[in-house]
Amino acid sequence: MFVFSYESYHVYRDSLLSERDLYYTVVNLIYGRGITELLREMPFYISIFKKIIAYRLFKSKQPMYGSVDVNNICNLHCTHCYWWLNRKKGEQDLTAEDWRRIIRDKFNKQKIFVTTLVGGEPTLRPDVIEIFCKEMPRRVCVVTNATFPLRRFNGLYFYWVSMDGTEKVHDSIRGEGSYAMTKKNILDYVAGPDRDGRPAWTDIWISMTINSLNYMTVEELIEEWRGKVNKIGFQFHTPFVKGDPLMLPFGVVRNQVVDKLIEMKRKYPDFVVNPVKQLSLMKGNWGGTGTTPVDCPSWAILSLDHMGRVKQPCCIGSADAKSMKPLCEECGLGCYSILVSQGIRGA
């Protein structure tokens, strides 16, 4: 999952990002937005700009983005998944009306710009997705395994569809037959009618979490999906225990994978979303020490679990202080490292 800061274009233009990266960052954010939408969203642009200035000048830390686990259930049990590690058995999901109150009280009052709906599997709660899309039109992304047919939600920004490599390796991580289901659902959606006046293919962004099993399929996955969907983004597996065999260790092989991604970014700048600066960070530790975020701006994303409780230290953490914690010093998450690459940090 990734978030993009439009305001960074103005604030950090010369000092922090290359012109090319900035161009694509801005294009990604305002992509497909008409003048009416841009005007409607103006208060949010102004608010995020103010938050960035306040951070720069006074180190004031106010959340800019949101992440919400809309439910406590998933139809898959992927081998790499952090969510199952801390899942609370027996807890009910909130109702759509509960979420409407939370959106109004927490997200819209604080002028949270873009919110990502995660899970569990969020498409199992279309009623909640609908409420988010109504209350935060065009500011909601849904991260999904897309094993169920994808619905057209008015007011959705786009879908992040998780694909963990090409078919064989994806299935070894996500379960036999899951790649074929996801592929079918994407292609059916893309073949369908426009949504909110835009072609359906623009709604689909692929997200690949790179690990020690799938790293060699990065290029093939890009080539397979280029021209079929809008974009593809990459992040690396984040372990919760030292020595997790799924983490691609820092060193020669990881560097080669990052260099390949940079090469692909240069080849297909419109398709690969990660800026070069962010990809370069992923070669090493950009996050913190042990399980403590240091450079990581965990404060910048308001992360709630399925009960609306604040997760710590970040969107893959937990509201329960006794739960397992992600290793910041080996973190590969895209949504925070992109902020670091834009000069927004923990300290």
Ligand X SMILES: C[S@@+](CC[C@H](N)C(=O)[O-])C[C@H]1O[C@@H](n2cnc3c(N)ncnc32)[C@H](O)[C@@H]1O
Contact positions toward ligand X, by CB under 6 A?
74, 80-83, 118-119, 121, 143-145, 162, 207, 209, 237-238
Query: How wide is the angle at C-alpha 55 spanned by C-alphas 52 and 61, nearest 5°?
Result: 105
Nearer to ligand X by Cβ, of 276 and 333: the residue is: 333
105 binds, among ligand SF4, ligand X, none (CB under 5 to 8 A by kind): none
328 binds, among ligand X, ligand SF4, none (CB under 5 to 8 A by kind): ligand SF4
Q: Closest residue (Cβ) to ligand SF4?
A: 287
Measuring CA to CA, how many Å separate 293 from each of 121, 207, 331?
27, 23, 10
209 binds, among ligand SF4, ligand X, none (CB under 5 to 8 A by kind): ligand X
Q: Closest residue (Cβ) to ligand X?
A: 162
Contact of 20 with 269, CB cutoff 8 Å: yes
Please count the residues of the chain. 347
237 binds, among ligand SF4, ligand X, none (CB under 5 to 8 A by kind): ligand X
d(CA 192, CA 266): 31
Nearer to ligand SF4 by Cβ, of 91 and 263: the residue is: 91
Nearer to ligand X by Cβ, of 6 and 336: the residue is: 336
Q: How far is the CB of 55 from ligand SF4 (least distance, A)?
A: 16
Nearer to ligand SF4 by Cβ, of 264 and 301: the residue is: 301
Nearer to ligand SF4 by Cβ, of 63 and 326: the residue is: 326
d(CA 277, CA 84): 31
Q: How far is the CB of 267 from ligand SF4 (least distance, A)?
A: 28
Q: In the structure encoding, which two tokens stand for residue 32, read together?
A: 């497909």
Q: How far is the CB of 164 from ligand SF4 (least distance, A)?
A: 8
314 binds, among ligand SF4, ligand X, none (CB under 5 to 8 A by kind): ligand SF4
d(CA 264, CA 117): 28
Query: How wide is the angle at C-alpha 106 spanned by C-alphas 100 and 109, nearest 5°?
Result: 100
Residue 165, sorted as left (phi over 0), alpha (psi -120 to 50) or beta, turns out to be left
The residues that touch ligand SF4, with contacts defined as CB under 6 A, are 74, 76-78, 81, 83-84, 119-121, 145, 238, 287-288, 293, 296, 298, 313-314, 316, 326, 328, 331, 333, 336
d(CA 197, CA 183): 24
Contact of 128 with 118, CB cutoff 8 Å: no
Nearer to ligand X by Cβ, of 1 and 29: the residue is: 1
d(CA 159, CA 142): 5
Type of residue at 174: R
